Structure formats: structure tokens, C-alpha cells
A and B are shown apart, each in its own frame.
Chain A
Amino acid sequence: MRPSKARSVPGAGLLSLSRRTWAALAVLIAVHVWAAIGTEFSPARFARLANSIELLTRWWPPAWELADRILEASVVTIQIALMGTTLAVLFALPLSFLAARNTAPGRFAYNASRTLLTVLRGIPEIVIALVLVPTVGLGPFPGVLALFIHNLGVLGKMVSELIEAADRGPQEAVLATGGGRGHMILFGILPQIVPETLSQAFYRLEVNVRASLVLGFIGAGGLGHELFLSFRVMRYAEVLVQVAAILVLITAVDYASAWVRRKVM
């Protein structure tokens, strides 16, 4: 039988945290109160929920007659993401061997390529696209370039970390045969990093489909562009179909990418 006067024993439950943990928790709560004030967080405003519902009712009935056009736009969205991702992978692979401590040909190449990757990663796609539009014009192409450049930074860093973490054993085996640096990279390292690199590339494809929707807002074409146009002229029946298409698209890409990633690992 359970003793009747059970009470929390110090050091017994999940909450037996150290003084430092409690202090960290207090700081964390304070930071969030501060952020809530800054973002005008106010559940009371939900009193006007009817306004949103009224908006949504104006979306109905969906403009299904636009399905063809939206399908075409979805294809463009996927094409933008695909081109941007693949270019990034192709250029990231060689660059990351310069940016990995164990394969860099020298300190200068290492530092220069690390810095380059950090800068590329730090610039948001939308900024790159805006800067490139005067040069290459509007349309999907600046979108592709923007995804390529940003993702080169993201994937380059990731692949160079895979190179640094690669098992030394196979590399030693190549050197022991009398093979040089090139043999070591191609046979001792590359086969080890390919599966994880592919897996990350498909994850980036997923991320880039979303990103190319946003790029559509600034004229990169595709589904994002269509959504932006319909919203601006308040054709909500079209918006509804476009949002449905986005949901389907993203879900499909997520599944496809998860499937491929399982296969390559």
C-alpha cells in the first residue's frame, strides 16, 4: 500500500534541478516576457476573430478554373528549387575540400574559402535576388541564382564538416598503397560523405521549394508570384486554390525527399 503522507523529496523527481538551472529558467522566462511586450502579444484581440472568418468566407468558392495555370506555376517553382539546389551541390563539393582543415591545400585557401562560405550563407536569398534583378532581369533566373549562392554557403559548410569528421582509416589505407592526395580524396573521403551529402541536398531541396515561393513575391515567377498577384487584387477565390496547391506541393516534396533520404543512407 502507498504510504499516506507522500511528499516531494529533495533530489528525487524531475524537478530536482540545481540552483543554476532554476536561475537560468528565471532568466529565460524574463526574456520571453520582454519579447511578448515587444511583439504586442495580446490574446484579448481574438475577440475580433469574426473578421478573419468573414475574410475566409469571401475565399469561397475556389476558382478551380485556374487549376491549369497554377499547375504550370507549381512546375516552375519546383524547377527553380531544383536548379538552385543542384548547382549548389555541384559547386559546394569541390569548394568544401578547400574549406576542410584536413584537405585544404594551405592555411590561406582554408581561411579564404571558410570566409567566402560564411558570407554566402549570411546573405538571405531575397537580397541576392534583388541585387541580381538589374543584371539578369525579372523571372525565375535570378531566383535560381539566389538559391544557388545562398545554398552554396549552407552546403559548403556542411560538407566541409563531413570531410573533417570522415573516418581516418580508409584515408590511411589509400596512403598506405602509395596513393597521393587526389586518390585519398576520391577514394578515402568521397565515398564516406556522399550518402549524407545527398541526404542534406534533398533536405535543402525541400527548404528551397519554400524559399522559391517567397522569391516569387519579388517577381521570380512560379506559385509564389501567382499568389502575390491574386492577393494584391484581392481575388481570394484564386488565393484559395493557390494555397491548396502550395500545401500539396510542399507535402509531396517533403515525402519525396524523406523517401530518397531513407534510400541513400
Chain B
Amino acid sequence: MALLVVRGLRVRYPGAQEDALRGVDLELAPGEFVCVLGPSGAGKSTLIRCINRLVEPASGQIIWDGHDAMRLKGAHLLAYRRQIGMIFQEFHLVDRLPVLANVLMGRFGYVSPWQAAIGRYGPQEVAWARQALARVGLAGYELRRARDLSGGQRQRVAIARALVQRPRLMLGDEPVSNLDPVTARAIMALLAEINRRDGLTMLINLHSVDLARAFATRVIGLSRGQVAFDGPPSRVDRSVLEQVYGTAG
């Protein structure tokens, strides 16, 4: 059974002239590594934010594990979101806090704000946080300030933060666009390794066609709010790229 089914997703931002998404259909099977390609403004970020309900679609369906995720509210919505990890182009860590505090943010779905504020977590949660840090190659970095780390290290902290949610899906909004090419490739390799070993499903926006070809098990091309291509990376050729990015490039 599909982990996630998206049907006829339409989004219009307040005050916008056109729909940002114009009827997107998508199915994710467990264990897939899907990369979403498309020019700026195609709707990649919007699609990802609809899936974890940070953006409200005008219409369409989101079915998570066989259940309607569009009508979730309050505690149910939060419980839904904590099953989905998310990483960002700008990392979005709390720069002044130590790495450990940042990783434990992944447990916000389980602790009250006040507990989080005084750093009160269960021993199991702290153990998961340390394991996650070791997993991303940052064992021993627990007490370093997030702002003292390099870009690649910060994205690793963000990945660890998502991992301690024990998610079933990982969303990425251009997570390597702010990194140099070597670091970008290393981060993609880490995501691929997590995908293979844990079977964690990935839906990652990218602006690099080469990285998508190298790591994805499936590529989706978005163009002006619609799916223009959906297939294996081996089929991403010149004509597909023209279709997705337009002929200008």
C-alpha cells in the first residue's frame, strides 16, 4: 500500500494571480527515494509544505497510510506532523543553542513546551538523540553551539533532529542548495544511506539534475504547478529536461 497519496492538489496563495499548484497527483511507496526537480517558482516548496500541512491547499486530497490527512486538526494534526521529518535549505536550527538541544527538538511532539524549555527529556530520548548524532557523523558534538558549525555539519544536525522524530517520511526543501558541491554530495549520500538502511522514504526537492540522477530511485519533474515528468532517473534525458525546465536553458 502507498505510504502517501496526493490527488488533485491545488494551492493559491492569498493575493496571487495564479495557482501555485494546479492539480498535482503523486503516490509514494514505502522506501522510495524521490527527488523533485523543477525551475524556481514551479511549486516544489509548496508541494512539500502541503504534505505536512504547513500550507493549506484550496482543494485536493492527501491520504497518509490509508487515512485522510486533510481534515486533521489540533492534536491529530501535530501527531501527523511528527511522523514526517523535514529539512530545509537554510537548516533552521536554533543557532544559539547546543547541538543536543537542537536534535531534541525532534521530540517536541512528545514533550510540553515547558519541559522542552528546561531540557527535561527521558533517558530513551537522549539516547536516541546521541545515536542520531553518531549516525550523521557528529558523535561528540552534543555540547557545541549550532552556530559554530559549518554548513554541512548544520545540515547533519537538522537531519539528526528529523531522525529523532522516528519519522516514516523525510521531506527536504532543497537541503543541499546552500552547500558546496562536495558537501552537497556527501549530504545526499547520507540521506541515501539512511533511505537504504532504515527504509525511510524520502521526498527531496533539488535544483541539481546530476544529484537527482545519482541518488534518486525516482524523479518527479514539476513545471508551473503541474507534474511534467514522473519516472526513473535513467529516463531523465534532454527532452525531459526541456519539458520540465522549458527550452530557454
Within 8 A of A (CB), among B81-131: 81-86, 88, 90, 92-97, 105-109, 112-114, 116-117
Q: Are A191 and B96 in contact (CB under 8 A)?
A: yes
Q: Are A176 and B113 in contact (CB under 8 A)?
A: no
Q: Is A172 in contact with chain B by the CB < 8 A criterion?
A: yes
Most interface-central of B52, B90, B92, B162 (chain A CB within 10 A): B92
**A169 and B108 in contact (CB under 8 A), knowing A176-B52, A187-B94?**
no
Q: Is B139 in contact with chain A by the CB < 8 A criterion?
A: no
**A178 and B82 in contact (CB under 8 A), knowing A183-B108, A187-B116, A191-B97?**
yes
Q: Are B92 and A178 in contact (CB under 8 A)?
A: no
Q: Is A214 in contact with chain B by the CB < 8 A criterion?
A: no
Most interface-central of A175, A177, A191 (chain B CB within 10 A): A177
Nearest CB of B to A171, in Å? 9
Q: Are A178 and B108 in contact (CB under 8 A)?
A: yes
Q: Are A180 and B79 in contact (CB under 8 A)?
A: no
**A176 and B109 in contact (CB under 8 A), knowing A169-B92, A191-B96?**
no
Q: How far is the CA of A172 from the CA of B158 in the complex (A)?
A: 13
A-side interface size class? 10 to 19
Q: Are B92 and A175 in contact (CB under 8 A)?
A: no
Say what secondary structure dominates the interface of chain B: mixed
**A174 and B109 in contact (CB under 8 A), knowing A169-B88, A191-B94?**
no
Q: Are B165 and A178 in contact (CB under 8 A)?
A: yes
Q: How far is the CA of A180 from the CA of B112 in the complex (A)?
A: 9
Q: How far is the CA of A177 from the CA of B161 in the complex (A)?
A: 8
Return chain A residues, CB-CB under 8 Å to B81.
175-178
- Across the interface, B105 reaches (CB within 8 A) one of A169, A179, A180, namely A179
Q: Are B109 and A178 in contact (CB under 8 A)?
A: yes
Q: Is B211 in contact with chain A by the CB < 8 A criterion?
A: no
Q: Is A244 in contact with chain B by the CB < 8 A criterion?
A: no
Q: Are B108 and A170 in contact (CB under 8 A)?
A: no
Q: Are A176 and B117 in contact (CB under 8 A)?
A: no
Return chain B residues, CB-CB under 8 Å to A191.
94-97
**A172 and B92 in contact (CB under 8 A), knowing A177-B82, A191-B97?**
yes
Count of inter-chain pairs, beta carbons less than 8 A: 77
Q: How far is the CA of A185 from the CA of B114 in the complex (A)?
A: 11
Q: How far is the CA of A169 from the CA of B106 in the complex (A)?
A: 16
Q: How far is the CA of A39 from the CA of B94 in the complex (A)?
A: 54
The residue in chain B whose Cβ has the minimal distance to the Cβ of A173 is B92
The residue in chain A whose Cβ has the minimal distance to the Cβ of B108 is A179
Q: Are A177 and B92 in contact (CB under 8 A)?
A: no
Q: How far is the CA of A169 from the CA of B83 in the complex (A)?
A: 20
Q: Are A187 and B54 in contact (CB under 8 A)?
A: no
Q: Is A186 in contact with chain B by the CB < 8 A criterion?
A: yes
Return chain B residues, CB-CB under 8 Å to A180.
78, 108, 113
Q: Are B86 and A183 in contact (CB under 8 A)?
A: no
Within 8 A of A (CB), among B52-73: 52, 54
Q: How far is the CA of A232 from the CA of B158 in the complex (A)?
A: 66
Q: Are A173 and B88 in contact (CB under 8 A)?
A: yes
Nearest CB of A to B94, in Å? 5
Most interface-central of A172, A178, A180 (chain B CB within 10 A): A178
Q: Is A10 in contact with chain B by the CB < 8 A criterion?
A: no
Q: How far is the CA of A162 from the CA of B94 in the complex (A)?
A: 17
Q: Is A182 in contact with chain B by the CB < 8 A criterion?
A: yes
Q: Are A186 and B88 in contact (CB under 8 A)?
A: no
Q: Are B86 and A176 in contact (CB under 8 A)?
A: yes
Q: Are B105 and A174 in contact (CB under 8 A)?
A: yes
Q: Are A183 and B161 in contact (CB under 8 A)?
A: no
The residue in chain B whose Cβ has the minimal distance to the Cβ of A182 is B113
Which 8 residue pairs of A and B lie closest in terms of their CB atoms, listed nearest first? A178-B82, A178-B109, A182-B113, A179-B108, A173-B92, A176-B86, A178-B81, A169-B92
Please report B residues at the A interface, Cβ cutoff 8 Å. 49, 52, 54, 78-86, 88, 90, 92-97, 105-109, 112-114, 116-117, 158, 161-162, 165, 171
Please report A residues at the B interface, Cβ cutoff 8 Å. 169-170, 172-180, 182-183, 185-187, 191
Q: Please give 8 more A-B residue pairs, beta carbons under 8 A apart, in addition to A179-B78, A187-B94.
A: A169-B90, A174-B105, A178-B79, A178-B82, A178-B109, A182-B112, A187-B105, A191-B94
